[in-house]
């Protein structure tokens, strides 16, 4: 059985061949075999239909191997030489046009590198992602929220993703999964999560309340959301979540993005920012009779 999983990341393109009052947009998807988890090759525009307001429905072209804006988001704790190897392998997988920024998060978020194309600067910034802190509070949802602020405006023909290293729980934020998912989708960003199987924290995650302005007493805040899975955030954004086994995890996340197909289509200008729903066309269902689409609902 093959699976067509969607990462909905429309980007306005400077288009031609669209009727008057329509512009060219795109949506990035993955076409994978569900059993062997490999991309299904040779997809054609006629294999897909897109549904939504103002759409013609037809896919006019498919782009592959798009460059990307990537934010590497790393939980700030000691990991020995792991990050040095991961950084080296990641920069070797980058393609021309890729831009990478690096953030670390714990109880607060620190920018190690703004968007850069320099492989040595990227490598060094990732290596700095662990400063030997083993006793800390970690707030991954706040880390993702800060990572979102780094992205420039969407550009034609580019993907946008957060490559995150952390574990699979957040008990220290007041942001809900669905709230942050909406922000990721609005900004056309997927969360690609490499789950640390052994975070080894010696302190539980807690919510540290800020003092009320002018007083030392804790501020009054709404109750915490509670423990939430970061993997749910990754999957709901159209991204992926997997446990890593070795230093190749960042490179594997970048390689997964290379496999995504960007489907170009015509849409009325006033609806160009809306997310379409993708389906296999009758011809596509004949070519891939066991395929199915998941995560493709408009939001």
Lowest mean pLDDT among 10-24, 138-152, 167-181: 10-24
Higher pLDDT pick, 154 / 110: 110
pLDDT bin (cut points 50, 70, 90) of residue 34 is confident
**What is the model's pLDDT at position 122?**
96
- Span 154-178, mean pLDDT? 87
* Res 281: pLDDT: 92
83 has a pLDDT exceeding 80: yes
Q: Tell whether the model's pLDDT for residue 203 goes beyond 70.
A: no
Percent of the chain residues past pLDDT 90, beyond the cut: 36
In the predicted model, is pLDDT for residue 52 greater than 60? yes
* Average pLDDT value for residue range 162-190: 89
Between 274 and 163, the more confident residue is 163
Give the C-alpha separation, 83 to 253, whole Å.
15
- Per CATH, which fold does 68-211+218-258 belong to? Rossmann fold (3.40.50)
What is the average per-residue pLDDT within 116-132? 86
Checking if the pLDDT of 228 tops 50, the result is yes
The domain spans of the chain are: 2-64+260-294, 68-211+218-258
């Amino acid at each position: 059985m093959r699976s067509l999983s969607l990462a909905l990341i429309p980007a306005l393109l400077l288009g031609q061949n669209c009727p008057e009052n329509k512009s060219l947009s795109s949506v990035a998807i993955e076409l994978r075999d569900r059993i062997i988890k490999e991309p299904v090759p040779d997809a054609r525009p006629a294999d897909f239909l897109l549904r939504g307001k103002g759409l013609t429905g037809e896919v006019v072209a498919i782009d592959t191997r798009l460059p990307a804006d990537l934010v590497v988001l790393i939980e700030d704790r000691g990991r020995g030489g792991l990050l040095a190897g991961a950084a080296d392998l990641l920069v070797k997988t980058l393609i021309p046009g890729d831009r990478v920024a690096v953030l670390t998060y714990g109880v607060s978020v620190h920018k190690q590198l703004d968007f850069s194309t320099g492989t040595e600067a990227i490598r060094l910034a990732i290596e700095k992602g662990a400063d030997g802190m083993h006793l800390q509070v970690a707030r991954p949802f706040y880390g993702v929220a800060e990572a979102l602020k780094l992205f420039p405006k969407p550009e034609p023909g580019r993907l946008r993703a957060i490559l995150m290293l952390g574990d699979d729980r957040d008990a220290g934020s007041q942001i809900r999964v669905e709230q942050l998912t909406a922000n990721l989708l609005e900004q056309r960003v997927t969360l690609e999560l490499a789950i640390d199987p052994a975070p080894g924290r010696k302190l539980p995650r807690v919510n540290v309340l800020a003092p009320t302005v002018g007083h030392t007493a804790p501020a009054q805040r709404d109750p915490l959301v509670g423990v939430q899975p970061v993997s749910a955030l990754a999957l709901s954004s159209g991204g992926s979540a997997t446990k890593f086994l070795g230093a190749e995890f960042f490179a594997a996340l970048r390689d997964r993005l290379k496999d995504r197909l960007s489907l170009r289509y015509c849409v009325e200008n006033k609806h160009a920012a809306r997310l379409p729903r993708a389906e296999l066309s009758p011809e596509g269902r004949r070519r891939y009779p066991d395929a199915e689409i998941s995560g493709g609902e408009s939001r």
